[in-house]
Amino acid sequence: MNRKNEYGRVVSINLSRTKSVRKKPGQEGLLIKDFGFEGDAHAGPGVRQVSLLALESIEKMKKMGLEVGPGDFAENITTSGLELASLPVGTVLEVGEGSILEVTQIGKTCHTKCAIFRQVGQCVMPEEGIFARVIKGGKIKAGDRINVRTQS
């Protein structure tokens, strides 16, 4: 599969000053190099500075009867048009007017089952969410294009 021309869109930017809660959806956020989103509890050094989840994954949970939307899975960026979980580690995502993320992890281990898992016995974030580090910061907003480049 050739990913050189693949792209998606930012649906929302979701932030929270507290960990272990749903994030509040918004229209924009400021990415800080090697840190994450300004004002987000999960920001900091390391490989999981920013989390992304596709709107298509959220729609799967809606079909199971949940009333969920962007930010409810504690993802920072809700996307559309990309199969995030199929992107290999090392993939570069160019977002908006020059912000750059590098995919560092696909999925996560969910040690404490979240409220969504307890409600329906399944959650999409551990399998379909991805994590990235900020290579180049900047302001990003809902509607921004996400260009995908795989490392060669």
pLDDT of residue 20: 74
- What's the pLDDT tens digit per position in 4-41? 458 999 999 999 998 877 899 999 999 999 999 999 99
Alpha helical stretches, state H, the chain:
55-63, 115-120, 125-128
Judge whether 139 and 29 are in contact, CB under 8 Å.
yes
Assign 3-class secondary structure to the chain.
CCCCCCEEEEEEEEECCCCCCCCEEECEEEEECCCEECCCCCCCCCCCCEEEEEHHHHHHHHHCCCCCCCCCCCCCEEEECCCHHHCCCCCEEEECCCEEEEEEEECCCCCCCCHHHHHHCCCCHHHHCEEEEEEECEEEECCCEEEEECCC
Residue 52 included in any domain: yes
Assign 1 a pLDDT band (cuts: 50, 70, 90).
very low
- What's the pLDDT tens digit per position in 55-94? 999 998 888 888 889 998 889 999 999 999 999 999 999 9
Per the structure, the complete domain to which residue 117 belongs is given by: 7-149
Judge whether 145 and 38 are in contact, CB under 8 Å.
no
Residue 1 included in any domain: no
Give me the number of domains the chain comprises: 1
Residue 27 included in any domain: yes
Which CATH number do you get for residue 23?
2.40.33.20
